Amino acid sequence: MNSLAGRHIVLAVSGGIAAYKAVDVARTLVDAGAHVAPIMTEDAHRFIGPVTLSALSSEKVHTSLWDDDSAIPHTKLAQRTDIVVVAPATARVISAYATGSSEDLLTATLIATRAPVVLCPAMHTEMWEHPAVQYNIATLRRRGVVIVEPEYGRLAGGDVGQGRLASTEAIVSAVEQVLQTASDLAGVKVVVTAGGTREPIDAVRVIANRSSGKQGHAIAIEASRRGAEVTLITTADMAVPASINVVRVETAADMHEAVSQVTSSADVIIMAAAVADFRPVPIAIGKWKKRDGAPQVILEPTVDILADIAKSKRPSQVLVGFAAETDDVIANAQVKLLSKNLDLLVANDVSAPGVGFQHDTNAVTLLTPATAPRQVALAGKHEIARAVLDSVAEIRSRITSSRS
């Protein structure tokens, strides 16, 4: 099905050399049946003429907060659209959006809209890699903005590097994907756990693990964007959109308690957390003093949360586990999938470069009892989150159709 036909799209163009490519994006979206309302910033006019963009869009270019037919063009555009696409997005626009400043029609529309936003940055490599730009991109990702990363290739002035605006195909396919999945989990109650648990040895020391919580948080954000009612039970201190109900925990026991409270009402439970398998038997109530010598730390098993909730799993409930492995990844993952009675297991080889703990990227294999293992190649954790939730949505529709 063509998810673009009849959809309202605001195509916002900011001032970069790649602005001319927005014309092709507009034409492709219009050809697919979408209604495209273009916005250009003042600087975008230095690169392309508004007449060209108007001619290939569904209405004339909007440029100013003040010169439009409507007295409040940003709220009009923001409210009636199904999606906002910014292509190209300059460092200035990214910064304004991340800090919530509305200095022109484009940035005011971004702040005023409740619709999903797809941002397609384009700039020189040095600018793209600058910590300030990367910080703003990470902030926007955490708020659920979909970033279509710039490509590697020729840049203005003959330079070569990452920074070229993504291809029209990549941008249009991201827009289609966002529109298709915008409400495929509407009203579904999703519980996600994230981060590594910390188990106290005494009042100040803990046994922890390397999990950052980034993958679990990315899943929670993506599920919320797709309309789910999300509860995120996490040890990680990272900002998330206000739509997500966050429960902060520390230990495996805290996490078990928090998960138990929401298990019976959850439709989907995704255990992305790295839960400690063992915890120290506390050696002191306060701080163990050095003068008392090296302590003997004795470990005791924690409760396996997944195995525990699997015991009372309802037939319509979807249970997702993660398996961080270093050897025989698929074989070990298959055993976990079956022994823990899971609907989906997300396995990763944490010994591979760029995969798993602390990285911004991941590569996984998705295993279900009913389908052949599916590899998802190295990609940002937000893209991996999309693949995991595509699989969850598929499993839910299989369950629904088998019951009807």
Report, as residue numbers or ranges, the catalytic residues.
Answer: 209
Q: Phi and psi of 249, rounded to 5°?
A: -135, 175
For residues 119 and 12, the answer to whether their CB atoms sit within 8 Å is no
Could you say which of 39, 96, 249, 273 contacts ligand CTP (CB under 6 A)? 273
Q: Give the residue ranges of DSSP H helices in 204-357.
A: 214-225, 252-263, 305-311, 329-339
Is beta strand 361-367 parallel, antiparallel or unpaired with respect to 374-380? Answer: antiparallel
In Å, what is the CA distance from 357 to each residue of 62, 196, 220?
A: 45, 10, 17
Give the pair of three-digit tokens for residue 261: 């409270």
306 near ligand CTP (CB under 6 A): yes
**Does 353 sit behind a cis peptide bond, omega within 30 degrees of 0 on the bond before it?**
no
DSSP tag of 33: T
Question: How near is the Cβ of 347 to ligand CTP at its closest, in Å?
Answer: 9
Task: Please identify which residue in the block is written with the tokens 């602390």.
Answer: 358
Amino acid at 344: L
Nearest distance from residue 237's CB to ligand CTP, in Å?
Answer: 19
d(CA 178, CA 192): 21
Contact between 369 and 343 (Cβ < 8 Å): yes
Per-residue contact flags (x/-) with ligand CTP for residues 311 to 330, judged by CB under 6 A? ----------xxxx------
Residues numbered 84-123 forming contacts with ligand CTP, rule: CB under 6 A: none
Residue 210 near residue 358, CB atoms below 8 Å: yes
The verdict on 302 binding ligand CTP (CB under 6 A) reads: yes
Nearer to ligand CTP, 96 or 269 (CB): 269
Q: Which two tokens stand for residue 54?
A: 């108007």
Stretch that binds ligand CTP, among 102-110, 204-212, 299-307, 368-376 (CB under 6 A): 299-307
- Residue number of the CB closest to ligand CTP reads 305
Site for ligand CTP contains 366 (CB under 6 A):
no
Number of residues that bind ligand CTP (CB under 6 A): 14
DSSP label at 70?
S
User: Interface mask (CB under 6 A) for ligand CTP, residues 235-254, using x and -?
Assistant: -----------------x--
CB of 224 to ligand CTP, least distance (A): 20
Q: Is 140 or 306 the residue whose CB approaches ligand CTP more closely?
A: 306
Nearer to ligand CTP, 170 or 310 (CB): 310
Is position 305 an interface residue for ligand CTP (rule: CB under 6 A)?
Answer: yes
> Quick check: 277 binds ligand CTP (CB under 6 A)?
yes
**Min. distance of Cβ 274 from ligand CTP in angstroms?**
7
Residues near ligand CTP (CB under 6 A) are 252, 271, 273, 275, 277, 302, 304-306, 321-324, 336
